[in-house]
Structure formats: structure tokens, C-alpha cells
A and B are shown apart, each in its own frame.
Chain A
Amino acid sequence: MHEIKVERPMSPSLTSWTFFVEHRAEILSATLDHLALVLIAMTIAILIGVPLGMFIVQRPALRTIALGIASIFQTIPSLALFGFLIPIPFIGGIGKRTAIVALVLYALLPILRNTYVGLTSIDPAVLESAEAMGMTRAQILIRVRFPLALAVILAGIRTATIITIGVATIAAAIGAGGLGTFIFRGVALVSDALILAGAIPAALLALLADFLLGLLERRLRIS
């Protein structure tokens, strides 16, 4: 309490800057933790979402169910989702594993939906030609639909990545580490410097991911 009173009259930007400089090693390590959390969750989400999207294109009956379930996960507030997962055996508990499960569930909808939309919104004339030329369904999927859908799929991955970077800060609430640790501590201690130490790197990560994936997406887009 005394310390805070002393710091109050100083400009918040100056105290934040001092805090950043003094704690740069910790901030960097938390940023790397955060990045690891996001990369692991995104890898799993892509490995599930893209094949599942390809699968539901062939099975229209499963489409509504798969997209419906993915949408439900997305509507659960993130803090609640983390809370719900804690008591579940194997995937639950406190720590990184639970956080990754929650992040995967969050990232799934944009990836799954864009994969499905990308694969199904291809020029009908192109698909008609492919069929008429004697390509099998599998060949059409792999050699025509998938390459033409790639830019749209990547747009979904980009959206999912940005969501995941944001949501991952909340994962600190269940002990998963990362940049959220600073934010939660900052909220508890009413310290702008601590909150910014978590929020600024998280925002920069999101901007960087958006920029790099956007660059890749533009390269893949076929006019």
C-alpha cells in the first residue's frame, strides 16, 4: 500500500517503462511461454480442423453437427470454459494441458468453418470439368478443391491464431503461465505497469501473427 502511494504521482508511462526494463528477462520468458502455448494449441487445432473440414465436405449429414458443436465451444465464455475443464479427468486439472485443450476448442470453429467454406465455394465450372475429365472424388479433393481453398483455409487459421493469442492470456487463471500471469497479477495489485507488461507483448504477438499470416495468405490467393 505504501509503495503504491509513492508511485502514484509519477507518470504511469514512466513507471511502466521502468518496470519493462527491469523485468525484461521475465517478460521475454513469459512471451516465449505464451507463444509455445499458442503454437501447440494451433498445431493441434489445424490437425483436427482441416481434415475434419475435408471430411464433412464429403458427408453433408455430419456438417451441421460438426459446425454446431464447434460453434457451441466458441460461445462459452473463455474463463468459464477453463473452469469447466478443470474437473474433467485426463484432459482437465490445473496447468498447461487443460489450457491447451480449451485453446484448441476455441480455435476449431474458424479453422473448420473456413476449411468447409473454402472447399465448397469453388467455381462450379471447375468442379464440373474435373469430374468430366475422369478425376476421382479423392483426386478432385486433393488436386483441385484443396489447393483452391488454401487461401480461405489460411484466413481461418489467421483468425484462430489471433483469437488464441488473446484467449491464452486468460489461461494464466488456471496456472498455464504465459503473459496472462502479468495481467492477473496487475489486476490484483492495481498496477498498470504489470497489466501492460502482459498486454503489450500479447498485442504485439497478435499483430505480428496477423501480418505474417496475411502475407502468406496473399501469396496463396489465386485471382
Chain B
Amino acid sequence: MRPMSLFAFVFALLLAPATHAHDYQHGGLDLVHPWIVEPPPGALTAAGYVAIVNAGEQGDRLLPVAADFSERTEVHSVTMTDEGVMQMRPVEGGLEIGAEGELMLEPGGYHIMFMGLSEQLKEGEHHLVTLNFEKAGAVTLEFVVQRRDSAMNHGGEMEMDSMAHDEEEMQ
């Protein structure tokens, strides 16, 4: 191996995480690892997640989301009250993404709620979902369907992956 190609090889290796298959750039936003948790058979709903990192100096807002495999698609919040009651609610008026900030859609928190699934979503499939941003405009992403094989409080691989990613983006 010639020295130059070795350098190129190492450089490509270093670059690899930044060119992750599920990392999208859109209007100054970095959309990290869009995924849908595989719903059990017969389920009428599914939840989708993505980390939105804004490196820009201008804030933005996540507005309505659309997908053609569900009758209705909304962004929902999850709140746990002091009494230990879980409340899921549609988010009204969009979600703020601060300047040089981030918006995490993740299990147990904000999520894209797909209601009235027209087909059974299966692990490994890719489905198109359109996110609308107030400033950056619309973007259609491939969400990958994955099993929820790890618990939320014990560090899911997906979350670890996107966290590691965010750190890279922040540097």
C-alpha cells in the first residue's frame, strides 16, 4: 500500500461516523438517526424518533410531520405527573429548536406518532417521513424500522449511537 492511499484510507475511517447512513443535513440542521420502533403485530400506532441538531445561529421550529403509511401523523409529548400518571398529548404550534441547540425526539419524550397504520411496519424496512421546518422548509427522510431491544434507562444502542453523534457534531 502506497503511503498516500494509506493516508486516504485512515482519513476515510476517521470520516466514517460523520457520513453515517442515517445522518441528514438540511438547511443548517443535522438530522441524526431517524428511526421507528417496530410496532407489535396488529398495532394501530407506531412512534418515530430523530435527533435534530442545529449548528446555526438562527433558531427554527419543527412543524407538522407527514407520512403516507399512516392516516394521521402528529408530534406528541410524554409527561409524567407527580402522581406517576403518564400523559401523552399532541404538541400544538410546533417545537422550538434553539440556535446552536438541539431537539431530541426519543423514547419516553417527544415522538412522532403514526396513527392508523396502513401496513405492518417491520424491522429493517425504510419508510419515508416528511418533516416540515418553519425556516429550513420540508425535508423527506428515510426512517429505519428497528426493534426496541434495549431499555430506555439502560442505554439503548440507538440512543448511545445518536448521543455519540451529537457530541461529534457539537465539537
- Specify whether A and B are partners: no
